[in-house]
Each structure stands twice: as structure tokens, then as C-alpha cells.
Amino acid sequence: MIETNDPAIWRNFLPWPSAETHKHARGRLAVVSGKAHQTGAARLAAHAGLRMGAGVVRILCPPDAASVIAPAVRAVMLTPFSSPENLGREAAGSDAVVIGPAAGLDDATIANIQALGSTGAVLVIDADGLSVFKGRTAELFAVLDRDDILTPHEGEFERLFPGLLTQGREVAVQEAARLAQATIVLKGAQTLIASPDGRVRRNENGSPWLATAGTGDVLAGMIGGLAAQRMESFDAACAAVWLHSDAAHTFGPGLTSDDLPDCLPRVLSEMRSSALD
Ligand SMILES: NC(=O)C1=CN([C@@H]2O[C@H](COP(=O)(O)OP(=O)(O)OC[C@H]3O[C@@H](n4cnc5c(N)ncnc54)[C@H](O)[C@@H]3O)[C@@H](O)[C@H]2O)[C@@H](O)CC1
Ligand SMILES: Nc1ncnc2c1ncn2[C@@H]1O[C@H](COP(=O)(O)OP(=O)(O)O)[C@@H](O)[C@H]1O
């Protein structure tokens, strides 16, 4: 049965800081950047993860990208990596890692994802991190744990699961979660979220203002931010999808992906008030 993605299901599981917490205890998120001319997507995701409450957010970047990113971040930290092995070491200790936005469609992205697979962090894989496995899904599935999350739009979904969408989006997303043994977020006007345990939810508060470049990168960062705070992956994905749309409704006309993270304090405050009622 497909449930509506109603906040009543997950709002009591949203992570709020306790009085005694500190930034490392709130959760550590890493976001992997693309090359020097492709750093915007990672910066969007990192800012969104921080706004969602991850206590420490770090961009891990190829060495040539560091001088581009450093002047463009403040609360987000930055560490260059020189190889997939080095990336794995730098990401160890992260609770969640986002990879894929503007990562590049080359073997380096595959090697980086494989290196992250042994860190134990929840992986949120989006965009190029999905498309690069076209025709090589067995290699992707070999990396995944059940708490990992894939966030394809329909184009990316078709690259990973050719032909599956002809069975309808609902059937397709459930079958994809079963095959991948991971949570799948099939994005669109009505995003569907499926868990490998068979649960599936339809998001019904979508906003067409989200049809603008970079909003998917922000969503990946929001999911990563909640997963870093150890919210269960399926609920983290469902909550982030709903809050992402709510932020878009809050902003309305003229929305760009840059605006979304800055709408989150209001959206989260309203959610917190309703959870305390
Ligand atoms: N600020 C930034 O730096 C941004 C970087 N981005 C990155 O830029 C790279 C390329 O992005 P593209 O948008 O070209 O790659 P996509 O894989 O999104 O699009 C490639 C093709 O897929 C097709 N497609 C089929 N179904 C689609 C759907 N439902 N939604 C969107 N496209 C669909 C489109 O026709 C498009 O020509 C990615 O790595 C992405 O993460 C984008 O996220 C935009 C913002
Ligand atoms: N018409 C629409 N109605 C509701 N949500 C939409 C619509 N178009 C796009 N979105 C949402 O916007 C986001 C776009 O993500 P994505 O396609 O990955 O873009 P990008 O790669 O530019 O970040 C997804 O969360 C998707 O569900």
C-alpha cells in the first residue's frame, strides 16, 4: 500500500538538539565536490545539510577545487583529497556523505563512491553519482548498504533501471528499492520514496517552483543533514522531500535553489511547534 507522505508519520522522529549536545554529537556530514569549475552543486548541498541541523559539515574536494571553494564558504569546512583512498580516509568519521552533484561522469566518481562504501557512513547518491553507473548497476549495488539512499530524477532512474518506468512509477520505485536494497527517492512533481523493506510513500505537497537548477542538489544535502543526525534513512528521505517542497511554497515566485536552504529555519520552526503540540 502506498501511503501519503504526511508529516504526522515522521515529525516526532525529527532530530532536535538537546541542551547538552555539541556540534560533533549533532552529526557530521561530508559532501564531495566536483572539479574546480563544478563546485556550486556541492556548496548548495553542504549549506542545506548545515541548515537541517548537521553540527559539522565539510566539503571534500579535488585539490584544484580548494582555491575556488575556500572563499565561497564560511560555516562549511573544507578538506582536499588526492585519491579515492584518501577520500575514504577523510570521510571516515562522517555520519553521512553526499556524493554525485556535479561529480563528473568518469571512473574517478565510481572509484570515489566505492571508497566511501567502506566508511560506514550513510551514503546519499545523486546526479552524476547515479548516471555514471549506467550499464554497471551491479557495481553500484555492491557498494550499497540498506541505509543508503539514491535520489534519481526520471532521467537518472532510466539510466540505472532501463525500462522499469514502463510499469508505472509506483511499481518501478518499489522494484528499484528491492533490487538496490537501499532507499530510492524517485523525484518529480509527485516524488515517490521507497524503502528496501517494502514501504513506499507518495509526496503530495510538491511545488512547481522547484523546477529550477540545483534544487535536487539542495534536497540531497537536506537528506544528508537528517541522516547525519541519525534519523532513519527512509524517514529522513520522506521528511526532507516534504520540507523541501514546503520551503519552495514558502518562497514562491522567483525561487532559485540558493534560496531554499535559507527558507529552512522558518519551515523547521513550524514543524517543531507542531511536533511539540
Ligand atoms: N549549481 C550547479 O553547479 C548545478 C550543477 N548541476 C550538475 O550538473 C550536472 C549535469 O546536470 P544535467 O541537468 O545536465 O544532467 P541531467 O542528468 O539532470 O540531465 C541530462 C538529461 O537528462 C534528461 N532528463 C530526463 N528526465 C529528466 C528529468 N526528470 N529531469 C531532468 N532531466 C531529465 C534531460 O533531458 C537532460 O538533457 C550534474 O552533475 C548536476 O548535479 C545541476 O544539479 C544544476 C546545478
Ligand atoms: N513540477 C514540479 N513539481 C514539483 N517538484 C518538482 C517539479 N519539478 C522539479 N521538482 C523537484 O525539484 C527537484 C529537481 O531535482 P533535479 O532534477 O535533481 O535537479 P538538479 O539536478 O538541477 O538539482 C526534485 O526534488 C523534484 O522533485
Cα(215) to ligand 2 centroid in Å equals 6
In a domain, 212, yes or no: yes
CA angle 219, 245, 243 (to 5 degrees): 70
Adjacency order of strands within the sheet including 192-194: 2-4, 200-202, 192-194, 183-186, 149-150, 122-125, 96-99, 28-32, 56-61, 77-80
pLDDT of residue 274: 86
Cα(159) to ligand 2 centroid in Å equals 17
* Structural domain range at position 77: 25-276
Other C-beta atoms lying within 10 Å of the C-beta of residue 175? 15
> Which pLDDT band, with edges at 50, 70 and 90, does 277 fall under?
low
- Best residue for ligand 1 mutational test, from 47, 113, 128 (most atoms within 8 Å of Cβ): 128
Cα(178) to ligand 1 centroid in Å equals 25
Pocket of ligand 2 (CB under 6 A): 127, 153, 187-189, 191, 206-208, 210-211, 213-217, 219
> Which pLDDT band, with edges at 50, 70 and 90, does 36 fall under?
very high
189 is in an annotated binding site: yes
Q: What is the pLDDT of residues 104-163, one digit of tens each?
A: 999 999 999 999 999 999 999 999 999 999 999 999 999 999 999 999 999 999 999 999
Question: DSSP assignment, residue 210?
Answer: G
Cα(207) to ligand 2 centroid in Å equals 9
pLDDT of residue 275: 73
61 pLDDT more than 90: yes
41 is in an annotated binding site: yes
In angstroms and rounded to an integer, the radius of gyration of the C-alpha atoms of the chain is 17
Cα(142) to ligand 2 centroid in Å equals 28
pTM of the entire structure?
0.98
Per the structure, the count of domains in the chain is: 1
> Is any atom of ligand 1 closer than 6 Å to the C-beta of 41?
yes
Domain CATH code at residue 219: 3.40.1190.20
249 is in an annotated binding site: no
Backbone φ and ψ for 131, nearest 5 degrees, come out as -60, -30
Mean pLDDT of 20-34: 97
Gap between the Cα atoms of 31 and 34, Å rounded: 10
In a domain, 6, yes or no: no
Q: What is the pLDDT of residues 171-214, one digit of tens each?
A: 999 999 999 999 999 999 999 999 999 999 999 999 999 999 99
In a domain, 11, yes or no: no
Of 67, 74, 65, 75, residue with least CA distance to 41: 65
Gap between the Cα atoms of 209 and 85, Å rounded: 39
In a domain, 160, yes or no: yes
CA distances from 211 to 5, 150, 216 (A): 20, 19, 9
In a domain, 124, yes or no: yes
In a domain, 237, yes or no: yes
In a domain, 116, yes or no: yes
In a domain, 3, yes or no: no
Give the ligand at the shortest distance from the Cα of 220. 2
